[in-house]
Copies of this chain bind each other. A is one copy, B any other.
């Protein structure tokens, strides 16, 4: 007695291999870092400083990990990514604010993550020290087909339940963690650097991190915006081993 709705509501399942990261608003400037830092030494008598002085100060703050002056500002991003990426992202608590699309309040979209062709599929090494290698031709085929089959079946069953009048919050339990979701996140420059230090893999990092490729696809785009709006801060962040101050 399996019930399928006569007319599928959203029939077309879409597969997607990229992460959308849009900078919605920002209030960020290297000068603000300096202004905040200098209150400790100049108190109630703000002055103007040269670009060189500012660069020197930011270098000192970053190197010696004086983090608080990097908190005066904010970046708001609008991100679309698979749920498993949202999950890793939202483990970041300090200095991070979130609002996300709700599977309780709306019918989700049939958009699912499929790894891009150059995504290495095979893991070598052990927990905490992974390396990845490209998949064989066969592995690529199997992964592609398995993902598409599971996603399609999940979507079909989701639609079946919705078609029968079952609540979205119950029906959505079949949707896979590869389903795309959209959220807003606001962070400050310091919490952004903390995020980047953990969610990017870099040879220049003092403390090596092994993020999943997919969250790095998000992080890399965020870092570009960070670099654009706070070039001095970003420079010294990279120079001092990507250790969040």
Given contacts A149-B153, A166-B121, A170-B143, contact A40 B99 (CB under 8 A): yes
Instruction: Say whether A199 faces chain B, with CB atoms less than 8 Å apart.
Output: no
Instruction: Say whether A183 faces chain B, with CB atoms less than 8 Å apart.
Output: yes
In the complex the two chains form, what is the Cα distance from A138 to B145 in whole Å? 33
Write the chain B residue with the least CB distance to A211.
B104
CB pair B160 A142 closer than 8 Å? yes
Which A residues form the contact surface with B (CB < 8 A)?
A: 1-3, 20, 24-27, 32, 35-37, 39-44, 60, 64-66, 68-69, 71-74, 76, 78, 80, 82-84, 86-87, 90-91, 93-106, 108-109, 113, 115, 119-123, 127-128, 132, 135, 138-139, 141-143, 145-147, 149-151, 153-154, 156-158, 160-161, 164-178, 180-184, 186, 188, 207-208, 212
CB pair A60 B178 closer than 8 Å? no
30 pairs from A and B in contact (CB 8 Å cutoff) = A1-B141, A25-B72, A39-B99, A39-B100, A40-B102, A40-B127, A41-B102, A41-B127, A43-B101, A43-B109, A44-B80, A64-B207, A68-B97, A68-B99, A72-B97, A73-B186, A84-B172, A93-B96, A94-B94, A95-B97, A105-B127, A122-B166, A123-B169, A135-B166, A142-B160, A142-B166, A143-B166, A146-B160, A153-B154, A154-B174
CB pair A72 B106 closer than 8 Å? no
Contacts of A167 in B (CB 8 A): 120-123, 132
Chain A interface mostly: mixed
Contacts of A82 in B (CB 8 A): 173
Q: Separation in Å of the A64 CB from the closest CB of chain B?
A: 6
Contacts of A35 in B (CB 8 A): 24, 184
CB pair B72 A99 closer than 8 Å? yes
